[in-house]
Structure 1
Amino acid sequence: MPELPDLTVFAQSLQKLVLNRGIVDAAYLRPKRLNVPPETFRKALVGHRLTEVRRVGKEILFVLDDGACLTVMLMLAGGFAWSRDNELPRSPILTIRFDSQDILSVTDPQSLVMVNLNPDLSGRAPDALEITPALLAKICRSKPRSLVKALLIDQKLIGGIGNAYSDEILWRARIAPHSLAGKLPDAAVEELAHCIVSVLTDATKYLEQHHPGILAGEVRDFLSVHGRSIKSSPTGRPVIVEQIASKRTYYTDEQILYR
């Protein structure tokens, strides 16, 4: 599933393509993952323009000129595609047709993409890039028995981090993924908060530089420990693969276990 760095660059790419273009048609083709009837969705978009596109947690938020909005969560295999009229990509979930005859599609061969028209955006978890040591300490205190790996990927606690970047963050912070959140000492919490922001920021900059314009997929070839082909960390330690918090997790024996 795309995570914060991927989605940030997707949003940047979409901004260049769709902002201020007139919408002449919209269709949701597989309505089981839409929160309103397809015709309601269509009527909300047609005749309007998109004025803002940005990432919110692990979703992309589109804002219309009348204040209406929609969010798209790409789930495991979803992505965006940009095409000309009559050149739809494979497995489209929704399509937005513009007056330029260009089409923005959301695709997903698994049909798991979730789309919400005018969702309630209040009360969401803090974004990962907003995490401070004090805020992270508060989150850890609220879930003292939670594995720190599970805590990082819980979108109700922190928005934007998934399986891949939680492993990268924990490796850089030198914290074992099966540590208990409530057992982390203050120094470890501070380092973890710093690494959340630095790992995600560094990854976003890498994608902006090496993969500008991307609309789909997960670029993971630059990661330090998370990946099936990675056998050792940049420090030369063997990578351990284990199922933790119901996720395939990658870490090394350099990471300290707090229990």
Structure 2
Amino acid sequence: MAELPDLTVFAQILSRKFAGKTLKEIDVKVAKKLKGTVAELKEALEGKKLIEVLREGKTLQFKFSSNHVLGMHLMLRGELELLDQSNPEPKFLVFGFHFAGGGGFAVTDRLKQATPTLDPVKAKSPDALEISEADFITLLAKKKGMVKEVLMDQKVIRGIGNSYADEILWDARISPFSLSNAIPEKVAKKLYASMVSVLREAIDFIAKENGDELRGELRDAMKVHGAKIEKSPTGKEIKSEKIGGRTAYYTDEQKMYS
């Protein structure tokens, strides 16, 4: 699943390529996840200029000159592809966006779960790169669950998924099994700093690797999260265990707070 760094870069690329262009047609191949009708979606967006593409949590937000916003959640297997003469209709097409003057992009998903929402309601939970240190510390202190589950809970904090939760916790040297409200304030400050630095460094890496191409999720810079990674950069053996049905990767150098 695409997480905050991937989606931030996707938004940047799509803005560079299509902001200022008029959407000629939105081709809806799979409408089962669409709230409302295809006709309503077309009425709101076709013939309108795309102003910018932003990321909100784990969604992309397409802002149009009609003052409508299209939110897009790629879900587990959704991907973005550029449309051109060599790739006019990719496999597993869910939505195709065609712009006046040629060119466009597609949302593909073999599971057909990618979810569009016209004019989505602003989420109440803070974004991982917008929350303040003080609010983050307060948030942790109020939660009794394991800290990895708290970081991944989109109703608590938006943008972080399984992969980057592991990377952030390793960087902060905190066990993913630690209880959130047992983490001391000094350590919580370190966790906040790790969250910001890990996510921003990942954005920079992915942006450099992708250039102007939508390459999909990149995990090449992961330090501990991945079945093929045997040792951390410090030489410690990487272990794995399920937390809430998802595999957590960690090392013994991460301290437990309970």
TM-score (norm 2): 0.96
In the TM superposition, 1:141-220 aligns within 5 A as 141-143=141-143, 145-220=144-219
C-alpha distance in 2 between matches for 1:127 and 1:216:
24
Gaps of at least 5 residues in structure 1 are: none
Indicate how the Cα distance of structure 1 residues 62 and 105 shifts in structure 2: closer, same or farther if over 3 A, else same. same
The corresponding residue for 2:15 is 15
| Structure 2 partner of 1:70 | 70
Moved more, 242-251 or 170-179: 242-251
Give the Å deviation of 1:28: 1.8
The answer to whether 1:4 aligns with 2:8 is no
Equivalent pair of 1:131/1:196 in contact (CA under 8 Å): no
> 5+ residue gaps in structure 2?
none
Kept in 2, the 8 Å contact 1:53–1:63? The answer is yes
SS in 2 for 1:129: coil
Which residue of 2 is the match for residue 84 of structure 1?
A: 84
| Alpha-carbon distance in structure 2 between the residues aligned to 1:242 and 1:132 | 31
Size of the aligned set, in residue pairs, is: 257
**What SS class does the counterpart of residue 224 from structure 1 fall into?**
coil
Aligned partner letter, 1:108: D
After TM superposition, the structure 1 stretch with the greater mean CA deviation from structure 2, 110-119 or 84-93, is 84-93
Amino acid across the alignment from 2:4:
L
CA deviation vs aligned residue, 1:123-169 (integer Å, no higher than 9, x gap): 431111123331112111221x2110000011111111010000000
Distance 1:10 1:88 in 2: 20
Residue pairs, 1:105-124, within 5 angstroms: 105-121=106-122, 123-124=123-124
SS at match of 1:237: coil
2:252 corresponds to which letter in structure 1? D
Separation (CA, whole Å) in 2 of partners of 1:151 and 1:216:
29
Greater shift, 192-201 or 132-141, is seen at 132-141
How far apart are the structure 2 equivalents of 1:219 and 1:21?
A: 28
Inter-partner Cα distance in structure 2 for 1:138 and 1:14:
35
**Structure 2: how far apart are the matches of 1:211 and 1:21?**
22
Classify the secondary structure of the residue corresponding to 1:31: coil
Give 1:27 deviation, angstroms. 2.3
SS at 2:89 equivalent: coil
Summarize deviations over 1:42-73 as a string: whole Å, max 9, x none: 11111101001011111000000021001111
Moved more, 56-65 or 86-95: 86-95
Q: Normalising to structure 1: TM-score of the pair?
A: 0.95
What amino acid maps onto 1:250 in structure 2? Y
Range with greater deviation from structure 2 (200-209 or 98-107): 98-107
Whether contact under 8 Å (2:80, 2:216) holds in the other structure is: no
**Residues in 2 aligned to 1:241 and 1:27: alpha-carbon distance in whole angstroms:** 42
Deviation digits for residues 178-233 of structure 1 (CA, Å, limit 9, x no counterpart):
10001001111110011110000111111122222242521111111001110010
Instruction: Give yes or no for contact 1:131–1:197 (8 Å, CA) kept in 2.
Output: no
C-alpha contact (below 8 Å) 1:184/1:258 kept by paired residues: yes
2:60 partner SS: strand
